[in-house]
Structure 1
Amino acid sequence: MGIKSNQWGTVSFGNQLDMTEEFVYLYNISAWASGYAIHQGDFDRMNGDRLPNSVKYMSPDYGGFTFGGVYSFGNVSGNFHQNSAWSVGAHYARNTFNLGVAYTQLNNPNGIYAFDPYAMIGAHTFLGQPTVTIDPAIGARTDLFSANPFSVDRQGALAVGGAWTLGNLMLSGNFTWTSIKGLGVTSYMKVYEAGASYNFRPDLALYGGYQHTRF
Structure 2
Amino acid sequence: MIDFLKNTVALGSGLALGSQVGLRLGFHLQPHPMPHQMAATLDHPWRMKYRNPGATLGLFGILAGMHVLDLGCGTGTFTVEMARMVGSEGMVHAVEIQRPLLERAQHRLTQAGLAERVRFHHSGAYRLPLPDASIDLAVLIATLPQIPDKARALAELRRVLKPGGRLAVSEELPDPAYVPPPVTRRWLQDAGFHPAGQSGTWFCYSVVAFPEPAPLERTE
Interval of TM-score (by shorter of Structure 1 and Structure 2): under 0.3
TM-score by length of 1: 0.23
Identify the structure with the greater strand proportion: 1
Identify the structure with the greater helix proportion: 2
TM-score by length of 2: 0.23
